[in-house]
Structure 1
C-alpha cells in the first residue's frame, strides 16, 4: 500500500509536465449566459516570441500564432457595424462563454498536479481549472507568464522607476521611469507594508495573500522552466539579459512586492483623480489679473465647468451626490506668487547620454543583416503611457427597454493599444473563484473586468478628485535664510527634513537599443503631505507644493473588492456587487448586469474634506485644513460612506465615457462640461428609448460603434459655428458647403469602403482639423489675453483629435501615439457655450458676456471666416505633419490606431475608431 502511494505520488508529480488528451479537463460550472455573451481584445492573446521568432518576424514579417488573430475582427466593426445583427456578432467578437467546446480545444496540460489548463483554438485563451484554490491562482500566474512575461517584467521595472537598467537608456524609457517614480516613489519596506496591511484584513485578506503567493509561484515556475528549456521571450536576449549561445544570464523571479508595484502603476494610470491644482491656480489668477476679481471669477467658473448645469451625468434619475465642489468662501487657499512656480527637480548628476536632450529619435531602417536593430528604438515601453488617463465607455440598458426583457450591456476599458496588449484574457474556475474576462498582465490572479456565472461587470475611469495639493512652508533648522531650494519644511510647528527616495540608474548599449551609455540619479523629495511636485513662493514665503493622494500607500487595498467580484458566493445580486465595488479605492465607475438587474457604483477613497476647503486650489498646510481624521503615518483619513457615493440600481439606462458621475459630483478637470464625448452615447440611447424602440444586443453595439466613428466637435459644436457664419462670402462658400455636406452625413470619420484607407468627406475633415485650433485661439486669446490663454491651455489642451492634439500655436502639433481614444480633453464645451451666447441664447453656466469678437456677433463671424480661410490654405503636411509611423499629409494614417510595441513584435495599423480596447457584449437570459 505504501509502495502504491509512492507510485501515485510520482505519477501525479510527473503529470504536471505532460500534455493531456484533448477534452480531458474539468467541466466549468453552469453558464447562465447561454452563448449570449461575447468579448474582444486586440491584437491577440499571445505576447510571447522566442528569439528565433523575433528574428523571423524582423526578416520575414511572420508572427507567433494567436498574436494577431483578434485584430481584424476588432478593426472590421468600424466599417461593418451598420449591417451587424444578433446573428453576426460573432464576426466581430469572440464567444465569451465558459468552457471550451471539444472541437475548439487546441491543447490541454497541467503546469502543476492540481491545475488543468485548456487553450482554445479560436484565440489561444487559457481556461484554468483548479482542483484547489491554490492551483487555480498558480495556473493564472503560469499562463499569464506564458503569454506576457516580458511585458510584466518591463512593467514592474517601470513602476519602480528602473526601466533604463532593464531595457536601455532610450529617451522614451527615461521619460517613463521618471513619470512613474514621481507618482509612487516607494521604498521596498513600504511595498512590503502594503502586503502586510492587506494580509491583516481578516479572512479575505489572508486568502488574498495566499492567492497572490500562489500566483507568483506560478510565474516563477514558468520562468524556471522556460529558461531551462530555452523558450523564454526573445526580448531577454535582445536586451542582453540572457546569452543566446550559452543561455547564461538571469530572468529575475517575481516577488509579492512586484504585484504592489504593478498595482501602483495601474492605479496611478487609470484609477486616480485630481492633482492639477497648481495649474488651476495659475490659470485662475491670470484671469483675475485680466478682468478683475468679479468678472475673472465668472470666466474661470465657466471654463472650469466644476458643476456645469449642462453636463450630462451617468445618473440622471434626479438624485444628487455632492463631492469635490468648491465652497462659496474658501479658506486656506495658497496661491503662488506670479512667476514663482518651478517644477521640482527629479533628475540629478546625469552623465553620458543622460545629458543629451530627450528628443524622440527617428525610427531607424531595419537592416536585414542586423534584424534586431530598431526593435526597441523608441524604448521598451511608450513614453506617453504614464500620461494617459480617463478612458473607457459603457452602455447598459435595463430589461424594461430591451426586446428580451433582460438587461443588455456593451462595455469595456479603453486602455490603449499595445503589442502585446497590457490586458490578458483568461477563464478561472476553482474553489471560490469562477470568472472569465480580462486582467492587467501581472495582476491576473483575479479577473478584473469580465463575467461570473450569471452576471458581468466593467468599469470606466471616474477621476473624481481624491488628490489635494498642499503648500508646505519651507524652513531652516538652524534658523538661517530660507529659499525655494530648502529641503526642510514645517509640520505641526516642527521644522522637519524632507525624506528622499533615490534610484541610481545607469545603462549601456544593447542589441535592442544603441543609445550610448549614461547614468543619473532619480530623487523624490517627500513630506508628510506627500511627494513634492513644485517649488514657489506664497506671499513672498518659499513653499513646496506637494501631492496628497488618498490611495498613496494603499494601492493594494482594492484586492478585496476584486476578490469578491470573482467569488460566486459573494455576488448574487446588484446590491452585492455594489458593496464589493465599495471595497475598491481607485476612482472607477462600475457597471453591472445580470438577467434581472442593472447597477452602477462610483468607487474611490473619497476623503471627507473640511467644508471651507477648495479641493481645486492649492491648500495651506496646517491642521485647520487637513483631511479630518488624517493619520500621516498610515495616510488614512475619514472617507465618504457607501450611501454618499454615486450609486443606482435599475435606472432606465446608464452611459459612461468618463463624463460626470452625477449631479453634484465635481470632476477633477475642466472637460466634464456642456460638450463631452459621453454625449455621443447618451443621445443615441436616450432617443431610441424615448421613441419606444426596444434594444437588442446588436442595436446597442451599433449605437456604440456609431459614436465610435463620429467626430464629437462636428456633431455637437460645428452646427452652432455654421449658424454664426450664416451665409458665407464667395471666398468661404465652397468651404462651408463642404462642412455642411459632411455634417449632413453624420460628421463621421469613416473610410469610403472598408480597407480603402481614404475617408469619405476627406477634404471637409482635413479642413475642420486645421480650423479648430485656429478658431479656438481666435475666439479666446484676444478676449482673455495671451498670459491667461497660455495658462488655460497649460491647464487643459484645446483639442484632442484622432490625429493629435493642438494648442493653437503655429506649427505645434503633438501626436497622440495613434491610440484611438479621442475627444475627452479639449475646449469643446467652452467653445459651445461662448458661441451660443454670441447667437443670443441664454446659456446656463456660461461666460456671461460672450468672449468671441469682444461680444460682437459680426466680429466673431469675421474671425470664423478668416480662420476658416487660413485653415483652407494650411498645407496637408502641416495639419498631418507625419511621424515615425506616417508620411506627412497622410490623413488616414495620421488617425490610424497603432499597436505600440512593448518588445519585438509589431502589428498592422487599423482604421481609427473610438471604442474600448477590451469590450464585452452581454445579455444573460437566466439566473442562479
Structure 2
C-alpha cells in the first residue's frame, strides 16, 4: 500500500525510503501530547491571515485542547477516555491517514499524518534519517531554531532587535557560555579524539542533519521556484527584512550550549550562599549561626522524599571545611556584568524578557510516575511522564518519528539539535527526563596578581582570556529600537568565567564558575544515538549505560513491558579532599578537581555506580525532588525539604496500591492530573499551620480558618470545573495567596532578623510565584513550604526526624525541645495576627498589578495563574487554565517485548 501511495510500484526506483506498515517494530502502548501543535511555520500569507482575521495555520494549536481539557476529566477519568487527551504515538501512519509525502533528497521520505501533522521520517541510510530530521525540523521550527542559535551565541539583539530585554538575554548567555567560533569548532574537532569511532559517527550525523536544514533553507529561498519558496519561508523573516543564513555544525553546538546550560545544570551559587551564611553568623554568632544556617540549607533532610531508595553519598564533606575555603569578606562582593548597565526598562511582553522568565522557570513542572509490574493491573509496568520546558509558540520542543538503519524512535526533541529523539519511545521501551539540578558547577576564587586581569595558578601569574561579542541592531517590524551596537565582554580563566569580584582575607580575588560541561556541550549526543538505537537499548541495564553517557544533570526514567529504571546522569567532579562543597574554594591549583586538565576541560568524574540509580522499585516518582539519601543538594538548592510537591504524586500511588491493590493507567493519569491542580501549601502545609493556630475566638478569624479548613477537605485545588471563569474555591485561594508571604514573615523574621531573613528570601523566596507582581503560574518547587512545616511541628508536634537546632516561630529557644508554652503562645499569636491582617485585602490589591488581567477585567487568582506562552512567532495562541504538569507527556503501557 505504501509503495502505491509513494508512486514506487514501477520503475525507476522510488526517490525515497519506503516506510514500513503502520505499527511495524512497535510493541504498542504508547501515547503522548505536546501542545500547542506540531506546526511552527507561518508563511507571509498565513501571517497576514492571522493578523487580519485571526486564522491560524493548520496544526498550530490542535493539541492544546487535548492538553488543557484533561483538567475537566478529573475526577473520574476512565481508561476509555485517555485517547481523548493523549494522542496515538505508534510508529508510522495508517494509509488512510497520510496527509502529505515529500522526498527532500534521494533516500529520504517524510510522511505527515492528517490528524496532527507529525513528521514520520524514513531513510535508506542512517545519514538519510539525520538529513530528514534536519529538513523536518526546519520545516516546523526554522524561525525558532534561528532564535535559539542566535541566543546560544549571545546574538539575539543582532537578530531580532535591540530591545533592552533582548540585550539582557545576550548578557546572560555571554556570562553563562561564552564561546568564540574557534571554541565551538574545537568541540567538533575533539569528538573523535575523546570518543573514537563513536565521536566520528556523531559528527557525521551532525553534518547530515545540518545538510537537511540547509536544504530546507535553499527550498525556502530558491529564486527559481518563487511560489514554492514563499510557501516555505516563515513570514517573520519577511517582517524582519532578512533571509535565513545557512547553518553550520557550530550552530548546533551553540544551540546545545543554550539548552543544556539551562535545563541540565546545578550549583554555581557558592558566593551568594556564603553571603547568606555570613548574615546568619552576624545574627547568631559562630556556633549558633552555623547551626541555624544548616537548618535552612536542607542539604539532606532525612524526611525529604527521594526517588531512589538506596544511599548514594556525594558532597558529604562539611560546608565549613577549612581547607582552601575562600569565604568572601563581608561587603566586598561585586557581581560583574558582561555589558554596560541597560538604560531601557525591561518591559512585560518583550520577547527577550518573556524568554528569560520562561528559561529561568525551567524547573517548572517536570514529573514522572512509573509503577512496577507487580503493582499494575495488567501485570506490566505503567508510566505517565514528561519534562516541563515552559510553554512557547511554537513550542520549544518538536515531535518526530525517526526510522532507518540504527534508529527506531518517536518522541520530542529540541529544534536545532533534533537529529535524535531526546524524550520518547523506541520499539518496546520509553524514556524521559526531569531536571536533576545536581551540583556540576563550582566556584573558584582566583587570587589576583599584577592587576585585575591576572591570577595565580599552580605557581604562575596567568592572564585572563578576554572574550568579546559585538552586537548591532536596526529598527524592524518587530522591534522599533533605534539603531545601535555594543560589545559584551567576559573573562575566562583555566577554571571558568568570572562572575564576581571581591576580597578574601583582604586579598583581591575574582570568583569564577567552573561548569563540568563547558567545552563539552554536544557530548551527550552519543547517549541519544544509543537511546534511539534498538540494537543498543534493549532493556533496563542497557538504558542505564546509555543514560550514563549524558553529561548534563538529569533524572532519567525508563519503562518497558518488564522493568522500570532510574538513573541520574551528569559529570560530577571529585572535589579536592576536605574542601567545602557549599562555598568558594581557592583557585590556586592545589584545590582543583581530581584529574582536572584545563587543555581538555576534563577531570575524573564520579563513577557510574556512584550515581543514584535503581531498577524495579515498587514505583518511581520524581517532581524534581531529592534523588537519594546522602546525595547532597547543590549549593543553589535550599529546598530539598520535608515537604515537597512529589509527595502529592507519591501519596496517591501509595493509596492506590495499598493492601495489594493494583493500579490502572487511568488511575496513574488521574494521580498526575489531580496533583496538577492542587495548591501544595493547602495539601501538605496548611493542616500543620491550622493546627498551630488552633480555634480563635475572634469572628473574622474563625471565618477565615473555617474557609481554609473547608478548602483543605476539598483537596485544596486551584481549578474551575464549572468553567465560570473563577476558581471553584476562589475565596480560599485568594486568602491563601494573601496570607502566605505574611505567614512566613511572621513565623521567621523576628527570630532570624531582617538582614538574614532578607538575604535568604532574596535567594529563595517564600513562594516561587510572586503574588503582587506580573502574573505567573505557580509550580510549588521552591519556597518555604518545608521550613514552615518543620518549624511548627518542632514546636506543636508531631516532631519528625531531623529536627532543627532551634524553634523560630515565637522567637523560640535553641536546642532540643525548642520552646515551651510561652513560645507556643507567642507563635500562635503571631500566626493569627498575620492571618487577620490579610482578611481585609482585596483582589485588586493582590492581583491588580498584572496589566493583562486588568485589561480583561478578570482580576483574580484564575487569571493570574493562567498559562501565557512565550511567543516566538507572529501567530500567537490564547492563554489557558493553569495546570502543573509536563509540557510533553507520555502515557506508556507496553505489554510485550520485541526481538532484535
| TM-score, normalized by the shorter chain, greater than 0.5 | yes
Say if 2:676 is the partner of 1:680: no
> Which residue number corresponds to residue 720 of structure 2?
751
Supply the distance in 2 between the matched residues of 1:573 and 1:781 (Cα, whole angstroms). 52
Supply the distance in 2 between the matched residues of 1:558 and 1:305 (Cα, whole angstroms). 30
> 8 Å contact 2:168–2:352 — kept in the other structure?
no
> 8 Å contact 1:173–1:383 — kept in the other structure?
no
Q: CA 1:519–1:878 in structure 2 vs 1: closer, same or farther (change >3 Å)?
A: farther
Deviation at 1:532, TM superposition (A): 0.4
Supply the distance in 2 between the matched residues of 1:497 and 1:903 (Cα, whole angstroms). 43
> 8 Å contact 1:558–1:583 — kept in the other structure?
yes
Q: CA 1:274–1:328 in structure 2 vs 1: closer, same or farther (change >3 Å)?
A: closer
Residue from 696, 700, 707 that aligns with 1:731: 700
> Which residue number corresponds to residue 224 of structure 1?
218
> 8 Å contact 2:15–2:108 — kept in the other structure?
no
After superposition, the C-alpha distances for 1:356-408 in whole angstroms (9 at most, x for unaligned) are: 233315x6xxxxxxxxxxxxx54496232442333411001100000111000
Supply the distance in 2 between the matched residues of 1:622 and 1:893 (Cα, whole angstroms). 53
Q: Secondary structure at the match of 1:605?
A: coil
> Which residue number corresponds to residue 355 of structure 2?
382
After superposition, the C-alpha distances for 1:538-564 in whole angstroms (9 at most, x for unaligned) are: 111111110011111111111111100
Residue from 789, 809, 830 that aligns with 1:863: 830
Q: Secondary structure at the match of 2:712?
A: helix
> 8 Å contact 2:169–2:352 — kept in the other structure?
no
Residue from 63, 72, 75 that aligns with 1:79: 72
Q: CA 1:343–1:846 in structure 2 vs 1: closer, same or farther (change >3 Å)?
A: same
Say if 2:259 is the partner of 1:286: no
> 8 Å contact 1:176–1:381 — kept in the other structure?
no
Supply the distance in 1 between the matched residues of 2:158 and 2:24 (Cα, whole angstroms). 48
Say if 2:328 is the partner of 1:336: yes
> Which residue number corresponds to residue 823 of structure 1?
780
Residue from 844, 854, 859 that aligns with 1:889: 859
Q: Secondary structure at the match of 1:542?
A: strand
Q: CA 1:252–1:870 in structure 2 vs 1: closer, same or farther (change >3 Å)?
A: same
Supply the distance in 2 between the matched residues of 1:52 and 1:547 (Cα, whole angstroms). 47
Say if 2:46 is the partner of 1:53: yes
Q: Secondary structure at the match of 1:731?
A: helix
* Structure 1 segment 577-616 matched on structure 2, within 5 A: 577-616=543-582
> Which residue number corresponds to residue 882 of structure 2?
912
> Which residue number corresponds to residue 406 of structure 1?
380
After superposition, the C-alpha distances for 1:866-917 in whole angstroms (9 at most, x for unaligned) are: 1112222222123213435322723211101112201211111111110000
> Which residue number corresponds to residue 324 of structure 1?
315
> Which residue number corresponds to residue 792 of structure 1?
760
Supply the distance in 1 between the matched residues of 2:668 and 2:707 (Cα, whole angstroms). 31
Deviation at 1:689, TM superposition (A): 2.0
Supply the distance in 1 between the matched residues of 2:490 and 2:307 (Cα, whole angstroms). 38
> 8 Å contact 1:530–1:546 — kept in the other structure?
yes
Supply the distance in 2 between the matched residues of 1:568 and 1:592 (Cα, whole angstroms). 14
> 8 Å contact 2:456–2:588 — kept in the other structure?
no
Deviation at 1:699, TM superposition (A): 0.9
Supply the distance in 2 between the matched residues of 1:475 and 1:870 (Cα, whole angstroms). 55
> Which residue number corresponds to residue 236 of structure 1?
237
Residue from 413, 431, 455 that aligns with 1:439: 413
> Which residue number corresponds to residue 813 of structure 1?
773
Q: CA 1:252–1:14 in structure 2 vs 1: closer, same or farther (change >3 Å)?
A: farther
* Structure 1 segment 125-140 matched on structure 2, within 5 A: 125-140=118-133
Supply the distance in 1 between the matched residues of 2:774 and 2:488 (Cα, whole angstroms). 27
> 8 Å contact 1:25–1:108 — kept in the other structure?
no
Deviation at 1:302, TM superposition (A): 1.4
Supply the distance in 2 between the matched residues of 1:531 and 1:108 (Cα, whole angstroms). 48
Supply the distance in 1 between the matched residues of 2:272 and 2:353 (Cα, whole angstroms). 31
Supply the distance in 2 between the matched residues of 1:11 and 1:452 (Cα, whole angstroms). 33
> 8 Å contact 2:98–2:114 — kept in the other structure?
yes
> Which residue number corresponds to residue 449 of structure 1?
423
After superposition, the C-alpha distances for 1:143-162 in whole angstroms (9 at most, x for unaligned) are: 11000000000000001000
Supply the distance in 2 between the matched residues of 1:861 and 1:657 (Cα, whole angstroms). 32
After superposition, the C-alpha distances for 1:83-141 in whole angstroms (9 at most, x for unaligned) are: 32111111001101111112211111211110111101111000001111111111111
> Which residue number corresponds to residue 91 of structure 1?
84
> 8 Å contact 2:362–2:390 — kept in the other structure?
no
Structure 1, unmatched stretches of 5+, are 1-7, 242-249, 364-376, 477-481, 807-811
Deviation at 1:29, TM superposition (A): 6.7
After superposition, the C-alpha distances for 1:38-65 in whole angstroms (9 at most, x for unaligned) are: 1000000000001121121122111100
Residue from 659, 662, 666 that aligns with 1:694: 662
Q: Which moved more, 1:141-150 or 1:858-867?
A: 858-867
Q: Secondary structure at the match of 1:529?
A: coil
> Across the two proteins, how many residue pairs are aligned to each other?
864
Q: Secondary structure at the match of 2:536?
A: coil
After superposition, the C-alpha distances for 1:266-321 in whole angstroms (9 at most, x for unaligned) are: 111100011111111000111011111221111111101001111010012xx200
Q: CA 1:520–1:385 in structure 2 vs 1: closer, same or farther (change >3 Å)?
A: farther
Structure 2, unmatched stretches of 5+, are 1-7, 223-228, 813-822
After superposition, the C-alpha distances for 1:629-684 in whole angstroms (9 at most, x for unaligned) are: 11111111111111111111111100001101111101220111111111111111
Supply the distance in 1 between the matched residues of 2:291 and 2:638 (Cα, whole angstroms). 14
> 8 Å contact 1:302–1:845 — kept in the other structure?
no
Length-normalised TM-score, structure 2: 0.93
Say if 2:483 is the partner of 1:517: yes
> 8 Å contact 2:319–2:582 — kept in the other structure?
no
Residue from 558, 561, 572 that aligns with 2:538: 572
Supply the distance in 2 between the matched residues of 1:627 and 1:715 (Cα, whole angstroms). 43
Quote the RMSD (CA, aligned, Å). 1.9
> Which residue number corresponds to residue 419 of structure 1?
393
Residue from 786, 802, 809 that aligns with 1:852: 809
Supply the distance in 1 between the matched residues of 2:12 and 2:151 (Cα, whole angstroms). 39
Deviation at 1:518, TM superposition (A): 2.6
Q: Secondary structure at the match of 2:559?
A: strand
Residue from 600, 619, 623 that aligns with 1:657: 623
> Which residue number corresponds to residue 198 of structure 2?
204
> Which residue number corresponds to residue 313 of structure 1?
306
> Which residue number corresponds to residue 670 of structure 1?
638
Length-normalised TM-score, structure 1: 0.91
> 8 Å contact 1:577–1:592 — kept in the other structure?
yes
Supply the distance in 2 between the matched residues of 1:415 and 1:346 (Cα, whole angstroms). 26
Supply the distance in 1 between the matched residues of 2:763 and 2:356 (Cα, whole angstroms). 21
After superposition, the C-alpha distances for 1:215-236 in whole angstroms (9 at most, x for unaligned) are: 1101000001011222300111
* Structure 1 segment 457-606 matched on structure 2, within 5 A: 457-476=431-450, 486-606=452-572
> 8 Å contact 2:137–2:415 — kept in the other structure?
yes
> 8 Å contact 1:33–1:923 — kept in the other structure?
no
> 8 Å contact 2:359–2:390 — kept in the other structure?
no
Q: CA 1:699–1:752 in structure 2 vs 1: closer, same or farther (change >3 Å)?
A: closer
Q: CA 1:335–1:814 in structure 2 vs 1: closer, same or farther (change >3 Å)?
A: farther
Supply the distance in 2 between the matched residues of 1:328 and 1:517 (Cα, whole angstroms). 49
> 8 Å contact 2:424–2:430 — kept in the other structure?
yes
Deviation at 1:251, TM superposition (A): 1.3
Supply the distance in 2 between the matched residues of 1:380 and 1:673 (Cα, whole angstroms). 31
Deviation at 1:164, TM superposition (A): 0.5
Deviation at 1:777, TM superposition (A): 1.3
Supply the distance in 1 between the matched residues of 2:404 and 2:581 (Cα, whole angstroms). 45
> 8 Å contact 2:112–2:120 — kept in the other structure?
yes
Supply the distance in 2 between the matched residues of 1:611 and 1:663 (Cα, whole angstroms). 21
* Structure 1 segment 828-839 matched on structure 2, within 5 A: 828-839=785-796
Deviation at 1:328, TM superposition (A): 7.0
> 8 Å contact 1:198–1:556 — kept in the other structure?
no
